[in-house]
Amino acid sequence: MSLETQIKELEKRPTKTNGEDEAVLFEQKVTPFRNDLAKSSLIVIVFSTMAVEAYIYDYAARHLGDAFVKDHLDKLDTLSKWIVVPKLITGRELSRQQKWFELLKKLIKARNSIIHHKSSDAPIFSTDIQQYMKKRDVNSELLYEAARQSITLLNILADKIAEIDPEETPWVNSYLTQ
């Protein structure tokens, strides 16, 4: 059973106490599952982004040469590399009007929010704590969604590269799928 399913099952179960005690008891039960889901999401996001970055760099280096990539393409951001590199190699561009483009932007944004996390003061008052918890929950949900979508993104990118460069299929599959 997935962590998400376990959390939903806990949310359905009523607790035997009333009022604030019920909320505290529920949080004590569900928090470990939410923490595991958050950790797993972080791992998926970071490693998916690494795979996307490693593949496009390797694709460019194998076809255009290491020196050219280092001198002219290495400093481009990941999104730009996914636009420029296929065009340089195949003469065909991956359309930015497709799902992969938005998913890659979201994945990079999620990775950046993890890697370049901005700290903040700990909340002191109960109203501040409640706002902090709501913000944390929204952020966790966004990261979980980015992690789920990253798997879709990897498959889409593999398909797009294989479509414009069929000889690349074994390479792209070894980096981005399976």
Higher-scoring residue by pLDDT: 135, 143: 143
Enumerate long-range contacts of 54-57, CB under 8 Å, 24 or more apart. 54/175, 55/157, 55/171, 55/172, 55/175, 55/176, 56/81, 56/82, 56/85, 57/81
Provide the whole-model pTM. Answer: 0.78
Which tokens is 25 given?
Answer: 């008891």
Amino acid at 76: L
Residue 76 has pLDDT above 80, yes or no: yes
Q: Is the pLDDT of residue 19 over 60?
A: no
Q: CA-CA distances (angstroms) from residue 79 to 20, 51, 124, 153?
A: 47, 13, 40, 13
Q: Tens digit of pLDDT for each residue in 45-54?
A: 999 999 999 9
Q: Cβ atoms within 10 A of the Cβ of 85, count?
A: 23
Residue 14 has pLDDT above 70, yes or no: no
Q: What type of residue sits at position 81?
A: K
Q: Is residue 4 scored above 70 in pLDDT?
A: no
Beta carbons within 10 angstroms of residue 154's beta carbon? 22
Q: Which of 5-19, 39-53, 108-122, 146-160 has the lowest mean pLDDT?
A: 5-19
pLDDT above 90 covers a percentage of the chain that reads 57
Cβ atoms within 10 Å, residue 52 = 24
Output 98 or 17, whichever has higher pLDDT.
98
Does residue 83 have a pLDDT over 60? yes
Residue 156, φ and ψ in degrees, nearest 5: -65, -45
CA angle, 32 then 34 then 35, to 5°: 65
Whether the predicted pLDDT of 127 surpasses 90: no
C-alpha span between 16 and 122 (Å, rounded): 32
Q: Which positions ≥6 away from 172 have C-beta within 8 Å?
A: 55, 59, 157, 158, 161, 162
pLDDT band at 106 (very low <50, low <70, confident <90, very high): very high
